[in-house]
Structure 1
Amino acid sequence: MSIPVAVSTKRQQIAELVERFRDKPLLSLYSHLDEAWLDEALRRVRKNTAPGVDGQRVEEYAATWESRRPVLLDLLRGGEYRPPPVRRTFIPKADGRERPIGIPTVEDRVAQRAIAMLLEPLYEREFLDCSYGYRPKRSAHDAVKATRNALMERGAGLALEVDIRGFFDAVRHDRLREILDERLKDGAVRRIIHRWLKAGVLYDGCLSRPEDGTPQGGVISPLLANIYLHAVLDRWFENEVKPTLLGRAKLIRFADDFVIVFTDVTDAEGMRTRLEGRFADYGLELHPEKTRLVDLREPASRPDDDRDDSPGGAGLPRTFDYLGFTFYRGRTRRGNRTVIKVKTAASRLSRFLSKIAEWCRKCRHDPLDEQRDALARRLRGHFQYYGVTFNTPALWQVLHQTERLWFTWLSRRSQRARLLWQWFSSALTTRLRLPRPHACHPLF
């Protein structure tokens, strides 16, 4: 996505100010806001998101943008903008539970994007290389590759898989303000951020106001999460923890999901206690069941009493899931050594195929060409994310299962004329051909 020259120049100016005054907070970011800045903020707002409490969609809001823009600009520059409540809804999680999110109005999304665009050049110079989530030119695939590389280093293979319980709802506002105060003294921007943190939540006709937490679902929420965890975790781990370790260690974090890879077992075993102590000061808590130590070392590197791979055995777990992938140790094609491999996590695979089955059931009476196009879009999206080195067999499994599910529901369209697999399998090579998987994200 290209950025208009005027906006790009201003962002570069902010970055240069940060570099020039590295040890001093910035006082007047709001002065960079202008109409071109807000135009870019509106352009970056996703068009297909659900409406907020006012029921207005992006297209409807954009039609009145010329009259709304100067009013919004004055409110933001003066620090007088007051966000409306967010509409609470719930989305399913991989473990079957639901995640609460707050959906802002379109105008609030524009305002959040505008402020986020001010803060990004300020904090991008601060963030460490271990952070991959919601940052320019970084992705989940970069985090997956970094995790595998860390596990493949000589002597490594011990991984602490960490889950922060309800992170976005647990962020302490007073602590976040302290962290922001280190680099940001702009009163107008600080007031607006504080109001977002305290914005009301509308659910089932009832309005509530949070005491802690960040507005998950908002545009600015991932940036605030990165700012918080940069201070609470990344910087602390790099400056205070690593110098005290017996061996090497590497942190890989994507938003609030992170893994720490160790070479020394004593370091790995003691890290959980250190994290619990650190997080307690900032309102955070480790999930006791989902935080665990995993052993992916080469078999020759494990103790003799730690080689039981059977369920309930004495050994540590041999796999872990991170960012939708399962990390495990497997043999190379030649079979002469083992390496760290990744594959689609079973929960993600099952959830995707369940959605495909439900779609095929609902849409089985649609024209075949339309069904093919819709399934192709879903498969391309799946292949685009999960198409990494070592995972091609899982992708072919998804394709074949999708073809089978499609055939099953098409054959139920009529009780008189049963669909023959011979005809259908032939059509899959021509008219009904679906996209083929490939590894588009190399891990080495």
Structure 2
Amino acid sequence: MGNLSTPKSVQKLQTALHAKAKAEAGYRFYALYDKISREDILAHAYAQCRSNKGAPGVDGQDFADIDGYGVQRWLGELALALRQETYRPDPIRRVYIPKANGKLRPLGISTLRDRVCMTAAMLVLEPIFEADLPPEQYAYRPGRNAQQAVVEVEALLFRGHPEVVDADLADYFGSIPHTDLLKSVARRIMDRRVLHLIKMWLECPVEETDDRGRKTRTTEARDKRRGIPQGSPISPLLANLYMRRFVLGWKMLGLERSLGSRIVTYADDLVILCRRGKAEEALRQLRRIMGRLKLMVNEEKTRICKVPEGEFDFLGYTFGRMYSAKTGQARLGYRPSRKSIKRVIESIHTVTARSGTWQETTELVGQLNRTLRGW
């Protein structure tokens, strides 16, 4: 559960929680809130948030401000607020970042105080829920990554699953219903104070600033009782928990066997690989199950692909018929998609732009390495 930089006391707690959850599938944890406010947990959460950097939230506070105030003093006050149950999250600052298709994606930026608190909760909760997540889910998990998902898709194509439902969900993060999501959490967590924390984070108001600098606050998530903010430390775990419902539902209905199908998911990226002639039924079942989960399939972007006649994109790669550069022979495989190549080239241009500010060579090389590693 931990890594080399994780304090031994935190690792010990995470290992114990994971072992208990793994050994007893029906066990519900009831004394977790006090662990979130532990000094070592909050200190490590703060260190993680600091390493991730990130912009200030609605209060404008950054790490330099906390250094000036005193990190230990700041963490002590947060711990006290949690223990006395006076902690209340601040509104989320919403910004928009450009997507590859030219559209804008909303990103929620919490205050440092809230980010540290959410990360502390993640340190305690993730080992528990990691024991429950099925192998089909690859995102936001220790020891798992997008490249493993890509390799698994290629392996399934080779093993005789040539028909693919290339699925797209309409606003997955913004559509997750709070009541059902909290039921998924409560299946393992019966500590009401922890559930209340998560509920408060889900219902946080959102603050936006228009072109004239005017600020407006909305309570859309609380009013509609759906949606989790993209960008918050707790969102990846919650997104995985709700997607778990789909994966388990698919298996419980016997669709793996009857359709010869296998699922691979990475957050809201989803493909279903089937035996020949089964993709149409798989798509129908996908719509039905997602409807029961109160989610919508994006019909414009969801399609059936038959390999090797056709190609499909998944996690930045194009899958289908490839040709050897040496022999010219055809084979099944994958290559970087045109969209991902274009995105990397644009990122490199941005980093190395002559019109940009002068940078130390080592800093420039570091930025380029991060860009290429991410690709």
Q: Which residue of 2 aligns with 1:122?
A: 128
1:52 aligns with 2:63: no
Aligned AA for 1:37?
I
Query: Which of residues 234, 240, 249 is equivalent to 1:236?
Result: 249
Measure, in 2, the Cα distance between the counterparts of 1:15 and 1:37.
16
Alpha-carbon deviation of 1:254? 0.7
Map 1:44-123 → 2, pairs under 5 A: 44-45=48-49, 46-63=51-68, 64-77=70-83, 79-123=85-129
Structure 1: gaps spanning 5 or more residues: 298-306, 308-317, 387-444
Measure, in 2, the Cα distance between the counterparts of 1:213 and 1:148.
32
Structure 1 residues 265-307: Cα deviation after superposition (integer angstroms, max 9, x where no partner): 2x2111122111211222211111211111114xxxxxxxxx6
Distance 1:371 1:10, change over 3 A: closer
Q: Which residue of 2 aligns with 1:15?
A: 18
Q: Which residue of 1 aligns with 2:315?
A: 323
Q: Which residue of 2 aligns with 1:207?
A: 217
Q: Which residue of 2 aligns with 1:25?
A: 28
Q: Which residue of 1 aligns with 2:284?
A: 273
Query: Which of residues 274, 287, 290 is equivalent to 2:301?
Result: 290
**Contact 1:200–1:207 (CA under 8 A) maintained in structure 2:** yes
Aligned AA for 2:276?
D
The residue matched to 2:195 in structure 1 has which SS? helix
Q: Which residue of 2 aligns with 1:381?
A: 370
TM-score (norm 2): 0.89
Measure, in 2, the Cα distance between the counterparts of 1:173 and 1:152.
39
Alpha-carbon deviation of 1:40? 0.7
**Contact 1:79–1:187 (CA under 8 A) maintained in structure 2:** no
Aligned AA for 2:29?
L
Query: Which of residues 246, 258, 279 is equivalent to 1:245?
Result: 258
Q: Which residue of 1 aligns with 2:212?
A: none
Q: Which residue of 2 aligns with 1:398?
A: none
Alpha-carbon deviation of 1:355? 4.0
Distance 1:107 1:237, change over 3 A: same
Structure 1 residues 323-368: Cα deviation after superposition (integer angstroms, max 9, x where no partner): 11222211345648533322222122223323444555543795xx
Aligned AA for 1:198?
E
The worse-fitting range, judged by mean Cα deviation, of 372-381 and 79-88 is 372-381
Measure, in 1, the Cα distance between the counterparts of 2:40 and 2:312.
46
| Superposition RMSD in Å | 2.2
The residue matched to 1:384 in structure 2 has which SS? helix
Measure, in 2, the Cα distance between the counterparts of 1:335 and 1:76.
65
The residue matched to 1:206 in structure 2 has which SS? strand
Pick the structure with greater CA Rg.
1
Alpha-carbon deviation of 1:75? 3.1
Q: Between Structure 1 and Structure 2, how many residues are aligned?
A: 360
Measure, in 2, the Cα distance between the counterparts of 1:180 and 1:82.
20
**Contact 1:163–1:291 (CA under 8 A) maintained in structure 2:** yes
Measure, in 1, the Cα distance between the counterparts of 2:84 and 2:257.
47
Alpha-carbon deviation of 1:60? 2.4
Measure, in 1, the Cα distance between the counterparts of 2:311 and 2:327.
20
Map 1:211-222 → 2, pairs under 5 A: 211=224, 212-222=226-236
Structure 1 residues 76-130: Cα deviation after superposition (integer angstroms, max 9, x where no partner): 3455421100100001111110100110011111000000111111101100111
Structure 2: gaps spanning 5 or more residues: 210-214
The residue matched to 1:183 in structure 2 has which SS? coil
1:5 aligns with 2:18: no
Alpha-carbon deviation of 1:242? 2.8
Alpha-carbon deviation of 1:28? 1.3
Measure, in 1, the Cα distance between the counterparts of 2:362 and 2:311.
36
**Contact 1:47–1:58 (CA under 8 A) maintained in structure 2:** no
1:197 aligns with 2:202: yes
Report 1 or 2 for greater relative contact order, CA contacts < 8 Å, sequence distance ≥ 6: 2
Alpha-carbon deviation of 1:379? 3.9
Aligned AA for 1:177?
L
Distance 1:292 1:78, change over 3 A: farther
Aligned AA for 1:254?
Y
Q: Which residue of 2 aligns with 1:180?
A: 185
Identity of aligned residues (%): 28
Distance 1:365 1:139, change over 3 A: closer
**Contact 1:79–1:191 (CA under 8 A) maintained in structure 2:** no
Query: Which of residues 111, 135, 145 is equivalent to 2:141?
Result: 135
Distance 1:32 1:223, change over 3 A: same
Q: Which residue of 2 aligns with 1:351?
A: 343
The residue matched to 1:214 in structure 2 has which SS? coil
Measure, in 2, the Cα distance between the counterparts of 1:103 and 1:364.
26
Distance 1:73 1:375, change over 3 A: closer
Q: Which residue of 2 aligns with 1:225?
A: 239
Measure, in 2, the Cα distance between the counterparts of 1:58 and 1:372.
26
Q: Which residue of 1 aligns with 2:272?
A: 260
